[in-house]
Structure 1
Amino acid sequence: MKNNILLKLSSIRLGILFLAVTFIGCEKDFLEVNPTDRLSEVAIVQDSTLFEAYVINRYLGVRLTDKEGDGSVPGFGRGYEYAMMGTVTDEAIYNNDDNTWLIQQGQLSPENTGILGTFWGRSYRSIREVNYALKNISDVEMSESGKAKLIAELKFIRAFRYHDLIRNYGEVVLMGDRVSELGDDFSNPELFEKTSIQESIEYVIEELNQAAEGLPLHNDGEWEDGRATKGAALALRSRLLLYAASPLYDNDNSDPQKWQRAADAAQDVMDLGIYSLYQDGYADMFLTEGSHSEIIFARYYNINERHTALEIANGPNGYGGWGGQVPLQNLVDDYEMADGSEFNWDDPEEANSPYENRDPRFYESILYNGAEYRGREVETFTPGGLDSQDGPDNWNTSKTGYYLRKFINEDLPIQNPWEVAGTQNWIYFRYAEILLNYAEAQNEVSGPDESVYNAVNQIRSRNGVEMPALPAGLSQEEMREAIRQERRVELAFEEHRFYDVRRWKIAMETENVPAYGINIRKAEDGSLSYDRKIALEGRSFEEQHYWLPIPRQEIQSSDGQLEQNPGY
């Protein structure tokens, strides 16, 4: 009998049982071959280097659906996939569907979860893997300080996975430190009993408190890039406590104490004094190699470990691109004018030149008709526009009239990118989010005091953005809307909008608005006319969609003991 641990694992039962240990029976033969894709459990526990490698690999996930991790395995979130999270919000649609339209059109079901069906399985698999490491770390020959750091990392990873479960499903099953095995008795309904949202959040917050105590302020040395720090743990705590105070999580009852905890958690990150806003250009913040002052926690890619080639996946058809995430007019209209006023289609001057004098972040995030890009202007007008349906590869023409610019590196090729593109970092937490977390929570506690204004205006005044400061004298409600507006444009396409509109409980409004695009007609004299259009029919959101359905196969794997979310 041999006892082996697989580095590539498979799931079973609810998503809570994930086999790291497989038992392989064999009889003694004249030739015995050890599988080359497996390391023995004993070897990993007895070799501190192998054990640390096991821990590091818990920052990664596995491919559970088609097109995930194109180039390398997924990390904590979808990140740079073909269809990103923004394509199931009012930020964008995915041009060629890729299992996103059903979500936009309100057809989400336990049997049909689209691109959102992997959170449950991947998270519980990771939690089981972390629990295995925590159970066995005492047997590893390693310094106590080394063990303490790894334990803190493991608690951070487990906390991140639970945070992903909670923000997607609401009530979830807390596993504690249990390590499930194949021979366990799964008939006990307590194994599948959900815990309340608030209890679950408190469990995760305590995990993060412990993680923050054991993690360093900075990582140095081999294998350190992309590993958790004290700041990462505190940033995750800040996000989760902000969620906990929000209407969806607090049953619509405004609790000042919860908002105060969220404000204090964001302040704890600010007080570390090691993070600041990136000042060398909004777009470059996402393209700079390695770390910089705004990154709190990120996944770092390089030429040997690449993600989806963004340039071809999202490029305009006239350049040989595939369209990909195409921004909606809904988002375009929400970028302010350069003077801080709202864009207004009823203003003839603005309507005739809708892309002039806008918030600089608009130009850094979205490719629009007339934008300078790779040596020419983008042409989405008809007739004859190179990036319109009259251009080459017209099946890749944007359905909205816009293309994604944020995250795209113009120094990387669109055509034949396979060996060179896909190296941009994916940022999980950055300092601007923390400032916005603080501003939102503090405004709910005390209204728009000086610290709230300062947090938002720091972002608006950074080099490369330089938007006017928010007007003085805003009411609490006006400041609330201003902060939501700032999150809308500052954090666009970074996996925030999906969760923000839900936690604010405004998704019934924002997600039931049609998915708008633009038709641009060019007259013989060269003048342009603009007409809003519906880019994707049937956009719909219902009350049950505030939480995702647990995939049907997970309910079945529990023999029906796991309770489905309401409405499904």
Structure 2
Amino acid sequence: MMKFKAYIAKIMVVSTIVISSTSCSNDYLEEVTYGEVSPDEMTKPANVERAIISAYSVLNGQFDGASNAYNSPASNWSFGDVVSDDAYKGGGGTGDQNNIHQMEIFNTLPTTIDVERKWMALYEGVKRVNEAMRLLAASENFDTNLKAQRKAELQFLRGHFYFELKKIYNHIPYIDETAETVNDYAKSNTEFTSEELWGKIEADFQAAYNVLPVTQEDAGRPTKIAAKAYLAKTYLFQEKWQMAFDATTEVVNSNYGLMDDFQELFLPENDNNKEIIFAVQHSINDGQPSNYNGSIGDRLLAPGGPFYSQYGFHRPSQNLVNAYKVTANGLPANSNENLKETDLVDPRIDITIGRPGVPYKDLGVLYEANWARDLATYGEFSPKKRIVSANSSFHLEVWPYVSALNYYILRYGEVLLWRAEAAVEIGQLEVARTLINQIRNRAKNTAYVKTLDGSANAANYSIELYNSVWSNQEQAREAVRMESRLELALEGHRFFNLVRWKKADEIISKYLEVEKTRRTHLSNASFIEGKNEYWPIPQAYIDGVDAGLVTQNNGY
């Protein structure tokens, strides 16, 4: 069978099914047409497969011929990191992608381009899933057993797209495969309660779990364990702690596990390793125009300097850098005092963040503060964990400067963190400690970043396990949450975790109070509790449906 990444590329280059629909005067709801297949050909198995692949292809946030998938990134670097205490927008000052700057200072509007394009990308995914389901059901010659599996894959994908919509916008329209026309997608966002929406998302993942195989020949397709893991995440977001804990049991007993080396986890040559449960499959130089199958949503994140383009977005915050400071016993110091060169630090800091005086990747040079495009505004640090070495064949040296590193939607290390979190909430504190120690032990035994000559560690690295019994639930909860931050930093999860922990207002307000003294671009930032936990419903969607059909989110 053709490799899955190449198959996506081939389908997107040759043709995809054109979505059948009635005309609609509202441009915002009209379909994006990529190619045409005559109506009598649409339900042939090969063309149904193309429709299914078309649904997969929008996972990376690229859904049209534009090059601004960075406004709808699969990695959520802007939606999950820049609006948290982990990162600044970066780039060439506040006027560069000012829309993201407005998000960063919590002045987001229903007309913000990112608000609209993220919504459009996710609903494009929903639409493609629904139409592929309809074609699959109507295909008389599709292999019966494979048909059930492909439907389960589509249910998994739809669960993912709706999960993203729910955590970003909260109150959303829900449309399933019974939709036949564009007008069927112009629905109320209050038809279903929050609990009912979560129930529909759960149902898709459960249905996928019931049918999906344990392994897939194509690495980019979801497995039974992937569906169970996503079901656990869905429970977690609803605080269904026992159900979340139980759901992770099957994952930890599966063939998935932690990679031995934290740094090697993020090398594109190790894509789809044993820790990766489900990922957006990226590729470059595969024939796709403009390399849109690469990490197109992250193309502004290149750190600058002598090896990379000068976009310079997604800059780690001083607060995040300080979070990696550890005490003499190798545990998190929980100090927001600026890190000094002599301080002891968690070794993950120099795998996650580019710091002056520390070697950057395998380039044979020290990272320098002047790599930063706007050093005065955004400081001296850069992203590093998910940046591919400029020496790698998986890095594209020309526009659009993307890479073939996959984006990990579900990874085993994160599942361990979920399980630990759920264990704390159901009173199994020692289980939680054991799980967190697995994460920390991997970090402890990772190959540390060395000086250029390889003779010593590049910094004063120190990390130890939690050796004392956990008997205080609140302290255990905070330890798990800190470990989540250190392990998952710059992977697009931080803000959503703060919201579901009901800590967004407290932590972000405290962060801004100090960070405003460090970074003047945040001087007008203010988080409003009860509003800024979610993004507004796009004004273009509200304007495109019948008056009164859509209720705007609180405060917008």
SS in structure 1 of the partner of residue 42 of structure 2: helix
SS in structure 2 of the partner of residue 298 of structure 1: strand
**Residue pairs, 1:174-253, within 5 angstroms:** 174-182=174-182, 193-220=190-217, 224-245=218-239
Partner in structure 1 of residue 331 of structure 2 = 340
Cα offsets for 1:50-94 (capped at 9, x unmatched):
211211220122446964347xxx9xx713689574223211112
Q: How far is 1:469 from its partner?
A: 1.3
Q: How far is 1:206 from its partner?
A: 1.6
Partner in structure 2 of residue 472 of structure 1 = 468
Q: Is the radius of gyration larger for structure 1 or structure 2?
A: 1
Cα distance between partner residues in 1 of 2:23 and 2:231: 28
1:514 lines up with 2:512 in the alignment: yes
Partner in structure 1 of residue 269 of structure 2 = 288
**Residue pairs, 1:87-98, within 5 angstroms:** 87-96=82-91, 97-98=96-97
1:263 lines up with 2:252 in the alignment: no
Distance 1:310 1:144, change over 3 A: closer
Partner in structure 2 of residue 453 of structure 1 = 433
Cα distance between partner residues in 1 of 2:469 and 2:137: 58
Cα distance between partner residues in 1 of 2:78 and 2:182: 35
Partner in structure 2 of residue 43 of structure 1 = 41
Distance 1:137 1:125, change over 3 A: same
Cα distance between partner residues in 2 of 1:454 and 1:15: 53
**Residue identity opposite 1:423 in structure 2:** A
Distance 1:180 1:50, change over 3 A: closer
Give TM-score scaled by structure 1 length: 0.79
**Residue pairs, 1:301-316, within 5 angstroms:** 301-303=282-284, 304=286, 305-308=293-296, 313-316=301-304
Distance 1:542 1:351, change over 3 A: closer
1:485 lines up with 2:482 in the alignment: yes
Partner in structure 2 of residue 146 of structure 1 = 146
Q: How far is 1:515 from its partner?
A: 8.4
Partner in structure 2 of residue 6 of structure 1 = 18
Q: Do 2:413 and 2:439's aligned partners in 1 also have CA atoms closer than 8 Å?
A: yes
For structure 1, the 5+ residue unaligned runs are: 23-35, 246-257, 381-385, 389-393, 519-530
Partner in structure 1 of residue 318 of structure 2 = 329
**Residue identity opposite 1:6 in structure 2:** V
Q: Structure 1 or 2: larger strand share?
A: 1
Cα distance between partner residues in 2 of 1:66 and 1:516: 38
Once the two structures are aligned, what percentage of the paired residues are identical? 25
**Residue identity opposite 2:111 in structure 1:** E
Give TM-score scaled by structure 2 length: 0.80
Q: How far is 1:427 from its partner?
A: 0.8
Distance 1:59 1:468, change over 3 A: same
SS in structure 2 of the partner of residue 372 of structure 1: coil
SS in structure 2 of the partner of residue 429 of structure 1: strand
Cα offsets for 1:115-139 (capped at 9, x unmatched):
2333333333332332222223233
1:548 to 526, 530, 535: 535
Cα distance between partner residues in 1 of 2:264 and 2:514: 25
SS in structure 2 of the partner of residue 118 of structure 1: helix
1:277 lines up with 2:276 in the alignment: no
Q: Do 2:323 and 2:336's aligned partners in 1 also have CA atoms closer than 8 Å?
A: no
**Residue identity opposite 1:131 in structure 2:** N
Task: Tell me which moved more, 419-428 or 156-165.
Answer: 419-428
Q: How far is 1:157 from its partner?
A: 1.1
Q: Please give the root-mean-square deviation of Cα atoms over the aligned residues, in Å.
A: 3.4
Cα distance between partner residues in 2 of 1:205 and 1:227: 19
For structure 2, the 5+ residue unaligned runs are: 1-15, 287-292, 448-461
